[in-house]
Amino acid sequence: MMDGSDAAGIRHPFADAPEEGCVTRIAEGVFWARLPLPMVLDHVNVYILDEGDSWTVFDTGIDTTRARGIWVKLLAGPLRGKQVGRVIASHHHPDHIGLAGWFQAGGAELVTTRTAWLFARMLTLDAQATPPPEMLTFWHRAGMPSEMIETRAKERPFNFCDTVAPLPLGYRALREGDVLHAGGRDWDVRLGQGHAPDQITLWSRDCNLVLGADQLLPGISPVLGVYATEPEADPVADWLESCAQLQEHARSEHLVLPGHKLPFTGLPLRLTQKIENHIGALKRLEAYLDTPRVASECFEMLFKRRVSEASYGLALAETVAHLNYLHARGRARRWLREDGVWIWQA
Q: Which residues pair with 213 in a beta bridge?
A: 258
The count of other CB atoms within 10 Å of the CB of residue 70 is 21
Q: Are 246 and 34 in contact (CB under 8 A)?
A: no
Q: Are 194 and 226 in contact (CB under 8 A)?
A: no
- How far is 200 from 174, CA to CA, in rounded Å? 8
Average pLDDT rounded to a whole number, residues 319-331: 98
Alpha carbon dihedral 273, 294, 214, 38, in 10-degree steps, equals -130
pLDDT of residue 307 exceeding 90 = no
pLDDT of residue 78 exceeding 70 = yes
What integer pLDDT is reported at residue 18 of this predicted model?
A: 98
The count of other CB atoms within 10 Å of the CB of residue 167 is 23
pLDDT of residue 14 exceeding 80 = yes
Model pTM score: 0.95
Q: pLDDT tens-digit profile of 231-245?
A: 999 999 999 999 999
Q: pLDDT tens-digit profile of 262-290?
A: 999 999 999 999 999 999 999 999 999 99
pLDDT of residue 6 exceeding 80 = no
Q: pLDDT tens-digit profile of 127-170?
A: 999 999 999 999 999 999 999 999 999 999 999 999 999 999 99
Query: Which of these, 297, 141, 287, 310, lies nearest to 226 by C-alpha position?
Result: 141
The domains of the chain are located at: 24-345
- How far is 214 from 211, CA to CA, in rounded Å? 9
Residues 6+ apart with CB under 8 A from 208: 251, 253, 254, 255
Instruction: Collapse the DSSP code of 202 into the 3-class scheme (helix H, G, I; strand E, B; otherwise coil) and give the result.
Output: strand
| Secondary structure letter of residue 18 according to DSSP | P
Instruction: Collapse the DSSP code of 167 into the 3-class scheme (helix H, G, I; strand E, B; otherwise coil) and give the result.
Output: coil
Per-state percent for the chain, helix, strand, coil, to nearest 5: 35, 20, 45
pLDDT of residue 310 exceeding 90 = no
Query: Which of these, 309, 335, 93, lies nearest to 194 by C-alpha position?
Result: 93
The full length of the chain comes to 346
The CATH number assigned to the domain with range 24-345 reads 3.60.15.10
